[in-house]
Amino acid sequence: MNVKILGTGTSIPSLKRLSSSYLVTTKGYRILIDVGPSVVRRLLEFDYSVNDIDLIIITHFHVDHTADLSTFLFACNYGIEPRRKPLLLIGGPGSKKFFKGLSAIYPWVLPNFYKLTLKVLARGIYNFHGISIETVRVNHNSESIAIKISHEKSVVFSGDTSYSRNLSRFFNDADLLITECSFPERKVKGHLNLAMLQRIVDEARPKRVILSHLYPDWDDFKGVLHEPFLLAEDGMEIEL
């Protein structure tokens, strides 16, 4: 399993950090987690195109996680090579309404030559070609989910969230946790800081922890992160 970190940022525009997004490759399938602003362009920078993606999972509807979904789907129709292979889109509760709204504004996002399947997965497991996709609801928006992708190894994504015991259970023993840690110290509703994340990691004991969804507060961080913590950078790649 390979995890490529496409972006590590937030709603705050940054030249250093694109909005948080990740690409998981396993069993020859490519899974894109979140499609915030400029993620389609970022895929190109790393030699991927929209047609390389088999599955998109949206953690929640905030613009920094979904803005480029319409760009992505538009490119599937009107790119150099129109997309032919099926695309699965997974999101939390309300995803059907979200997509209906999107396609009402942008009818061009509806597929021309390929099959688009939308699956709502609020809490449960979905078998995607032998890859297990598991979700659980988290404290951020009503549609917010955390994601676990397992095939021999397991990687979990927190999405945007605050602390909950459920989350620790969900992350238990994961090979890799890619988590939001919006702020080193600041407490903001619906997000994590280092102390809250430490509590989750103490309870869940994931083998590796990568901190992402980083607000500019991190630019002034003077502390030291110890194992298993690692601060994410755009372009980082992890082989599991």
| Strand bridging mode 176-180 / 153-157 | parallel
Choices 48-56, 63-71, 105-113, 222-230; region in contact with Zn ion by CB under 5 A: 63-71
What is the DSSP secondary-structure string of 143-167? T-EEEEEEESEEEEE--S----HHH
Q: Rule CB under 5 A: choose which of 54, 64, 143, 234 binds Zn ion.
A: 64
Q: Which is nearer to Zn ion, 68 or 160 (CB)?
A: 160
Q: Rule CB under 5 A: choose which of 30, 62, 151, 191 binds Zn ion.
A: 62
Of 16, 2, 41, 26, nearest in space to 212 by CA? 16
Map tokens 């509806």 to a residue: 110
Distance CA 207, CA 135 (A): 20
Residues 184-223 that bind Zn ion (CB under 5 A): none
Q: To the nearest whole angstrom, how small is the minimum distance from the Cβ of residue 119 to Zn ion?
A: 21
Residue 42 is a binding residue for Zn ion (CB under 5 A):
no
Q: What Cα–Cα distance (Å) separates residue 201 from each residue in 116, 176, 181, 229?
A: 37, 11, 12, 9
Q: To the nearest whole angstrom, how small is the minimum distance from the Cβ of residue 96 to Zn ion?
A: 20
Residues 128-187 that bind Zn ion (CB under 5 A): 160
Enumerate binding residues for Zn ion (CB under 5 A). 62, 64, 160
